[in-house]
């Protein structure tokens, strides 16, 4: 594991994650291709509407905005932690006047008494500084900085997830449109068959049973449309949420599944994945933060050295306040050594060590899960392509069979059972084809996401709005 981006925690300070990095992905075909996805990977689908939605989501998505706000919070906490490394300086100016009886009046330096009245003016400055001899405050600052860096990577994780969600929702919109169009064509086909059978019944050559069966087929096709329209509306609303707009302000053109290009995605080497996924870098920084906290907790076993100093002016008369005669100062040094605290320091140290171990195991799991994600996505895409190839053959043969049976029906030579079977087979085959096309698109998006979506490590320094 590499040293952290800030370069403050050395590699040797971090526990060994003992990663088992495979040489190749099990599901990858052929020799590894080191070409990585581009950061604007969605352009490979060649859809202008999808590109517009993706670009809009990057600027207005509320989850991304919340992640940026968390970066600012972490930066502020890091600044707070860093304040302990610098002296604390305060200034004071005060004036007082009090009255008491002559029997209780007390005369003190810089004060005056007259008829039971006491006047005092003070202008002073004080400073305190803890010598960070054991690195307690430094490690606390490092922990806060690494947490802030982790939040920067978390923003990129949220952005990648958001973009994948936009693509998936838009593909589902297009698929719903496609399936509605298929259902509409199938309804028209079922209506033609129904009319043909009814004509035969009216002529006395058809069966009422045949007509009832076809009526059932027609009704089933019509009943399939409302759920598809509901799915279309749901996915359109998901897109509206992702681009932070009310549903009524989102107008989608959509398109057809067949017009969407399928980009070629190369997975590269598994070892490259460690620097391609922001969630891995996030966990790496969280582990670094936990390691720094262990160091800070360890330093609490040792003495703390505090330096204090103060100085200023004190006078009964305001006009004489800033004269050499009114000046005063003092300096002090103190050492505090924990002796007995009922095990509080030891318990806190044990807690930080346990958290470090938790972050270590989480980091290892994140890396292993990343390898599994890529391999699963590769397998899913491969099988989706194969299913789609076979389903196209099914659709072609089913359409041919249905067209033949429809011609025979009109010629009066077809068996009605054969007509019913061929049309149902075609309806199901066309709908399945649309679903398999959608599955392939979702598999491509999943592979892009598993590979980090073209992400590469950026600097973790600078303000949140730099992202």
Residue 391 token pair = 């389903």
79-99 pLDDT, tens digit per residue, is 888 888 888 888 888 777 777
For 342-390, give the DSSP string: TTHHHHHHHHHHHHHHHHHHHHHHHHHHHHHHHHHHHHHHHHHHHHHHH
Cα(394)–Cα(24) distance, rounded to whole angstroms?
Answer: 35
Q: What percent of the chain has a predicted confidence (pLDDT) above 90? A: 53
Q: Residue 11 pLDDT more than 80? A: no
321-354 pLDDT, tens digit per residue, is 677 777 777 888 888 888 877 889 999 999 999 9
Class of domain 11-88+132-302+344-466: mainly alpha
| Spatial CA neighbour of 359 closest among 286, 274, 280, 277 | 286
Give the bridge partners for 98, in sequence order.
118
The confidence score (pLDDT) of residue 85 equals: 83
The confidence score (pLDDT) of residue 458 equals: 64
Q: What is the mean pLDDT of residues 363-381?
A: 94
Q: Residue 167 pLDDT more than 70? A: yes
Contact 298, 345 (CB under 8 A): no
The residue among 56 and 327 whose pLDDT is bigger is 56
Residue 345: C-alpha distances to residues 49, 293, 298, 301, 351 (Å): 59, 13, 8, 7, 10
**Global pTM value:** 0.84
The confidence score (pLDDT) of residue 449 equals: 95
Give 272's pLDDT tier (boundaries 50, 70, 90). Answer: confident
Contact 268, 36 (CB under 8 A): yes
- Residue 322's SS3 state is coil
Q: What is the mean pLDDT of the chain?
A: 86
The confidence score (pLDDT) of residue 150 equals: 94
Q: What is the mean pLDDT of residues 447-467?
A: 67
Q: Residue 185 pLDDT more than 80? A: yes
Tell the burial category of 95 from Cβ atoms under 10 Å away from its Cβ (0-12, 13-18, 19+).
exposed
**Least confidently predicted of 63-67, 88-92, 208-212, 297-301:** 88-92
The confidence score (pLDDT) of residue 4 equals: 44
Q: Domain ranges for the chain, please list them.
A: 11-88+132-302+344-466
């Amino acid at each position: 594991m590499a040293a952290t981006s800030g370069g403050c925690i050395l590699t040797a300070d971090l526990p060994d994650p003992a990663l088992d990095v495979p040489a190749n992905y099990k599901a990858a075909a052929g020799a590894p291709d080191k070409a990585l996805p581009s950061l604007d990977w969605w352009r490979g689908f060649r859809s202008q509407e999808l590109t517009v939605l993706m670009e809009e989501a990057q600027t207005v998505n509320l989850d991304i905005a919340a992640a940026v706000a968390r970066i600012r919070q972490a930066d502020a906490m890091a600044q707070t932690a860093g304040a302990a490394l610098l002296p604390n300086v305060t200034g004071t100016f005060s004036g007082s006047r009090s009255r008491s009886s002559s029997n209780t009046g007390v005369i003190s330096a810089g004060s005056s008494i007259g008829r039971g009245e006491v006047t005092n003016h003070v202008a002073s400055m004080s400073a305190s500084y803890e010598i960070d001899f054991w690195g307690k405050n430094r490690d606390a600052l490092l922990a806060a900085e690494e947490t802030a860096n982790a939040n920067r990577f978390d923003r990129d994780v949220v952005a990648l997830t958001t973009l994948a969600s936009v693509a998936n929702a838009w593909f589902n919109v297009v698929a719903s449109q496609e399936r509605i169009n298929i259902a509409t064509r199938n309804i028209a086909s079922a209506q033609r068959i129904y009319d043909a059978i009814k004509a035969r019944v009216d002529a006395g050559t058809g069966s009422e049973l045949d007509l009832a069966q076809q009526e059932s087929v027609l009704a089933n096709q019509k009943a399939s449309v409302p759920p598809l329209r509901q799915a279309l509306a749901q996915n359109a609303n998901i897109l509206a949420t992702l681009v932070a707009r009310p549903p009524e302000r989102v107008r989608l053109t959509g398109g057809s599944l067949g017009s969407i290009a399928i980009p070629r995605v190369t997975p590269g080497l598994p070892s490259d994945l460690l620097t391609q996924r922001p969630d891995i870098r996030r966990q790496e920084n969280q582990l670094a933060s936990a390691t720094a906290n262990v160091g800070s907790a360890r330093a609490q076993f040792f003495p703390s050295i505090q330096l204090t100093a103060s100085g200023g002016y004190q006078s009964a008369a305001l006009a004489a306040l800033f004269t050499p005669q009114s000046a005063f100062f003092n300096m002090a040094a103190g050492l505090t050594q924990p002796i007995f605290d009922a095990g509080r320091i030891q318990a806190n140290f044990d807690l930080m060590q346990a958290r470090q171990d938790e972050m270590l195991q989480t980091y290892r799991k994140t890396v292993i899960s990343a390898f599994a994600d890529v391999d699963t996505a590769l397998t899913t895409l491969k099988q989706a392509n194969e299913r789609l190839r076979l389903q196209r053959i099914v659709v072609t043969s089913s359409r041919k069979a249905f067209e033949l049976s429809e011609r025979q029906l009109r010629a009066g030579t077809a068996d009605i059972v054969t007509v019913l079977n061929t049309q149902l087979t075609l309806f199901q085959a066309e709908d399945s084809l649309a679903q398999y096309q959608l599955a392939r698109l979702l598999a491509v998006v999943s592979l892009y996401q598993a590979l980090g979506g073209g992400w590469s490590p950026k600097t973790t320094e600078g303000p949140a709005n730099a992202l």
